[in-house]
Amino acid sequence: GGFARYSVDGQWLVPHFEKMLYDNTQLAACYLTAFQATGESRYAQVARETLDYLLRDLRDPAGGFHSSEDADSEGEEGKFYVFTPAEVCEALGEADGARFCAAYGITEGGNFEHGRSVVHRFSCPREAALPGEEDQMLRERLRHWRDRRVRPAKDDKVLAAWNGLALSALARGFQVLGDPRYLEAAT
């Protein structure tokens, strides 16, 4: 979950991996609006994943939300977020790992530096797509495995304006999606 700040290539494949609070709050609000306007569940899912990212990764234990997460960890841009097929198979097992790699464009040659791949869907064959619940479960398992890595540093400033955007997005998230965690975080 969570949106990186911008892309560094013309195909919008490779992000600059920095994640900003203000980008994520405004994008969550946009996806909530898209869901309300269209009823398409994929927009609700993106909004939910973005709001969950705020709660999980940017929330300050003393209250409020941190400003951002850096692009780098261990001196390498994106290292926390990119994978080799071997790493995916280690995390998910051989069969699930192979299917996940096919669904998300993770290849031996990689699409990023050092033979690693940015996890993405848009260039993969439709027949490689994973069913919704299975997709979510495998992404969650991979995220838990990834969380053992050294995380990017955070800019732990709690800025009033950006936190206002977060509170607004979370309140709307509760209003639209009905998840009480969002209301609790917004109050």
Residue 129 structural domain: 81-148
Same domain membership, residue 116 and residue 161 = no
- pLDDT of 121 strictly over 70: yes
pLDDT band at 133 (very low <50, low <70, confident <90, very high): confident
- Residue 127: its pLDDT value, please? 75
Same domain membership, residue 112 and residue 170 = no
Distance between CA atoms of 149 and 34, rounded to whole angstroms?
34
Same domain membership, residue 138 and residue 169 = no
pLDDT band at 27 (very low <50, low <70, confident <90, very high): very high
Mean pLDDT of the chain: 94
pLDDT band at 147 (very low <50, low <70, confident <90, very high): very high
Same domain membership, residue 169 and residue 106 = no
State whether the Cα torsion 73-77-78-84 is positive or negative.
negative
Q: Report whether 65 contacts 163 (CB < 8 A).
A: yes
Looking at the 3D structure of the chain, how many domains does it have? 2
Distance between CA atoms of 49 and 116, rounded to whole angstroms?
24
Same domain membership, residue 160 and residue 185 = yes
- pLDDT of 3 strictly over 80: yes
Q: What is the mean pLDDT of residues 35-56?
A: 96
- pLDDT of 148 strictly over 90: yes
Q: What is the mean pLDDT of residues 135-148?
A: 94
With a pLDDT cut of 70, the percent of the chain lying above it is 98
- Residue 124: its pLDDT value, please? 67
- What is the three-class DSSP state of 69? strand
Residue 153 vs residues 2, 54, 185: alpha-carbon distances, Å: 15, 15, 23
- Residue 123: its pLDDT value, please? 64
pLDDT band at 68 (very low <50, low <70, confident <90, very high): very high
Same domain membership, residue 179 and residue 136 = no
Same domain membership, residue 139 and residue 158 = no
Same domain membership, residue 140 and residue 97 = yes
Same domain membership, residue 69 and residue 159 = yes
- Residue 126: its pLDDT value, please? 74
Task: Fill in the amino acid letter for 62.
Answer: A
Nearest to 20 by CA among 80, 78, 68, 72: 68
Same domain membership, residue 51 and residue 114 = no
Same domain membership, residue 127 and residue 178 = no
Same domain membership, residue 141 and residue 168 = no
